[in-house]
C-alpha cells in the first residue's frame, strides 16, 4: 500500500508510520517538519496545510490510502478536495471529544449525539472548540471514510505525560495518593494498538464511525494491574473528591493534577464507551501491564514528559489527609 499520512511526525501519526513501514508498506509523511522526527524508512514531504495551495508538493505522487490527523476544518477541506478523489481509502483520526453527552455510560459511536460543528470563522480551533472543530472536520471528510474517534491515547512517546504519571509514580513505591471512588472508570488505548488498527482499516477498506479505545477498567483494577506489572511496593491511600478539591488538586492533566481523574457526574460516561463495534472491526489491544511497563521504560530512557502532582505536593496532600482523619477520630 502506498500510504500517505497527513501529519505523521507526532505521537500517533509517527506510530502509524512506524507500524506501516515495518510491515512493508510504502509510507510518506507530509508535515511542516516542526513537531518531531520522521520514522525510520519513511519518506517525508514538507507541506504547509494552512496555505491554500500548501499541499502542492504532493502533486505527482499517487497514494492508495490517506490518514489525516488534523484538527482544523480548513486543513481537512483542502486535503479532501485535493486528494480524496484519487485515493482508495481515507481515514480521519477524530476524537471522543466530538460527543455532546459525556454523562451517560456505555454509549456507542453510531448512536451518540455530537456537538454542533464549530463555525467557519473560528475554524482554526483552540482547545475549547477542539471537539466541535473535529465534528466539522468529520463532516468535511464525508460518510465513505473511516472515522476513528480516538479516546485517551497512551504509551511510549506520549507527549502529554498524563498516563505516564501513573507508571512513574507507582515505580517510585511508598504511599500513593489515589482519587476515589475505587470504581471510577478509566479507559484509554495504547498508541501502538490504535496505529495497528488504523493500518488494518486501510488494508481492509473499513469505513464508518468507530470509537478507537480499549476496555474500561475500574480505577482499582487500573492501579492493581499497573503496580503488579511494575513489581512496585506501594500502598494506596484512596481519598475522596471533596478532600482533593479542598487541597486544590486538579483533574485529568496539568500541574497539581491527579491524571485521568474526571469530573463527575458530567463525565461519568466518558471512560465507559462501548467498543464492541471496534473490536468486531478488528481492533485488538495489548494487556495494560505491557503498556505500563513500556511507558515506564520509555519515560526512564528518553526522559519522557510527566504531568501531575510533584512528589512534594503528593506528600503534603497525604499529610493533610492523615491529619484530617486523626482530627476526625478525636
Ligand atoms: N492524544 C490523545 O490522547 C488524543 C485523544 C483523542 C484524539 N486524539 C487525536 O489523535 C490524533 C493525534 O495525532 P498525533 O499524535 O499524530 O498528533 P498531532 O498533534 O495531531 O499531529 C499533528 C501533525 O500535523 C502536522 N501539522 C501541524 N500543523 C501543520 C500544518 N500547518 N501543515 C502541515 N502539517 C501540520 C504536525 O507536524 P508539523 O508540526 O511538523 O507540521 C504533526 O505531524 C489527533 O487527530 C488528535 O486529535 C488524540
In tens, the pLDDT along 177-209 reads 999 999 999 999 999 999 999 999 999 999 999
Q: Please determine, for residue 122, whether its predicted confidence score (pLDDT) is greater than 90.
A: no
Report how far ligand 1's centroid is from the alpha carbon of 75 (Å): 12
Predicted pLDDT at 119: 72
**Cell 499541499, residue?**
55
Q: How far apart are CA 180 and CA 53, in angstroms?
A: 51
Q: Please determine, for residue 282, whether its predicted confidence score (pLDDT) is greater than 60.
A: yes
- For the CA of 29, the nearest atom of ligand 1: 43
Predicted pLDDT at 264: 84
- Please compute the mean of the pLDDT values over residues 259-269 and round it to a whole number: 92
Q: Please determine, for residue 265, whether its predicted confidence score (pLDDT) is greater than 90.
A: no
Instruction: Answer whether 137 contacts ligand 1 (Cβ < 6 A).
Output: no
Predicted pLDDT at 319: 98
Instruction: Answer whether 161 contacts ligand 1 (Cβ < 6 A).
Output: no
Instruction: Answer whether 34 contacts ligand 1 (Cβ < 6 A).
Output: yes
Q: How far apart are CA 15 and CA 283, in angstroms?
A: 15
Predicted pLDDT at 127: 56
Q: How far apart are CA 7 and CA 5, in angstroms?
A: 6
The mean pLDDT of the chain is 95
Instruction: Answer whether 32 contacts ligand 1 (Cβ < 6 A).
Output: yes
Pocket-testing residue among 4, 13, 42, 156, ligand 1, by greatest number of atoms within 8 A of Cβ: 13
Instruction: Answer whether 164 contacts ligand 1 (Cβ < 6 A).
Output: no
Instruction: Answer whether 93 contacts ligand 1 (Cβ < 6 A).
Output: yes
Atom 19 of ligand 1, nearest CA residue: 10
Query: What are the residues whose beta carbons fall under 8 Å from the beta carbon of 3, sequence distance 6 or more?
Result: 20, 25, 26, 27, 28, 63, 64, 65, 66, 67, 199, 202
pLDDT-based confidence at residue 71 (cuts at 50, 70, 90): very high
Radius of gyration of the chain (CA): 21
pLDDT-based confidence at residue 124 (cuts at 50, 70, 90): low
Residue of 9, 198, 163 lying closest to 92 (CA atoms): 198
Report how far ligand 1's centroid is from the alpha carbon of 179 (Å): 30
- For the CA of 13, the nearest atom of ligand 1: 16
Instruction: Answer whether 69 contacts ligand 1 (Cβ < 6 A).
Output: yes
Predicted pLDDT at 37: 94
Report how far ligand 1's centroid is from the alpha carbon of 79 (Å): 15
Report how far ligand 1's centroid is from the alpha carbon of 100 (Å): 22
Report how far ligand 1's centroid is from the alpha carbon of 234 (Å): 36
Report how far ligand 1's centroid is from the alpha carbon of 280 (Å): 27
Per-residue pLDDT tens over the stretch 137-180? 999 999 999 999 999 999 999 999 999 999 999 999 999 999 99
Cβ density class 102-126: b for 16+ within 10 Å, e for less: beeeebebeebebbebbeeeebebe
Q: Please state whether the predicted TM-score (pTM) of the whole model is above 0.95.
A: yes
Q: Please determine, for residue 268, whether its predicted confidence score (pLDDT) is greater than 60.
A: yes
Query: What are the residues whose beta carbons fall under 8 Å from the beta carbon of 9, sequence distance 6 or more?
Result: 29, 31, 33, 34, 35, 36, 37, 38, 44
Amino acid at each position: 500500500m502506498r500510504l500517505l499520512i497527513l501529519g505523521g511526525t507526532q505521537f500517533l501519526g509517527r506510530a502509524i508510520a512506524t507500524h506501516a513501514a515495518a510491515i512493508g508498506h510504502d509510507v510518506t509523511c507530509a508535515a511542516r517538519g516542526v513537531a518531531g522526527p520522521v520514522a525510520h524508512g519513511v519518506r517525508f514531504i514538507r507541506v504547509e496545510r494552512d496555505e491554500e495551495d500548501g499541499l502542492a508538493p504532493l502533486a505527482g505522487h499517487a497514494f492508495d490510502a490517506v490518514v489525516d490527523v488534523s484538527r482544523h476544518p480548513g486543513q481537512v477541506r483542502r486535503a479532501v478536495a485535493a486528494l480524496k478523489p484519487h485515493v482508495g481509502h481515507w481515514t480521519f483520526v477524530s476524537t471522543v471529544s466530538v460527543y455532546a453527552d459525556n454523562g451517560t455510560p456505555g454509549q456507542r459511536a453510531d448512536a451518540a449525539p455530537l456537538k454542533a460543528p464549530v463555525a467557519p470563522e473560528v475554524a482554526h480551533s483552540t482547545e475549547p472548540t477542539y471537539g466541535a472543530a473535529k465534528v466539522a472536520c468529520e463532516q468535511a471528510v464525508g460518510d465513505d471514510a473511516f472515522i476513528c474517534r480516538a479516546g485517551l491515547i497512551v504509551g511510549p512517546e506520549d507527549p502529554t505525560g498524563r498516563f505516564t504519571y501513573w507508571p512513574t509514580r507507582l515505580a517510585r513505591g511508598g504511599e500513593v495518593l489515589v482519587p476515589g471512588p475505587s470504581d471510577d472508570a478509566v479507559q484509554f488505548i495504547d498508541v501502538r494498538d490504535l496505529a495497528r488498527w488504523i493500518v488494518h482499516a486501510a488494508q481492509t477498506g473499513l469505513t464508518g464511525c468507530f470509537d478507537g479505545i480499549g476496555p474500561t477498567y475500574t480505577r482499582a483494577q487500573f492501579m492493581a494491574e499497573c503496580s503488579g506489572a511494575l513489581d512496585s511496593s506501594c500502598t494506596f491511600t484512596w481519598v475522596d473528591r471533596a478532600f482533593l478539591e479542598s487541597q486544590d488538586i486538579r483533574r485529568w492533566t496539568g500541574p497539581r493534577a491527579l491524571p485521568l481523574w474526571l469530573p463527575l457526574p458530567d463525565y461519568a460516561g466518558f471512560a465507559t464507551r462501548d467498543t464492541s463495534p471496534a473490536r468486531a472491526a478488528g481492533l485488538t489491544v495489548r494487556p495494560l501491564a505491557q503498556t505500563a511497563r513500556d511507558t515506564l521504560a520509555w519515560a526512564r530512557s528518553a526522559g519522557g514528559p510527566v504531568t501531575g502532582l510533584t512528589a512534594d505536593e503528593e506528600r503534603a496532600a497525604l499529610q493533610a489527609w492523615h491529619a484530617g482523619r486523626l482530627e476526625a477520630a478525636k
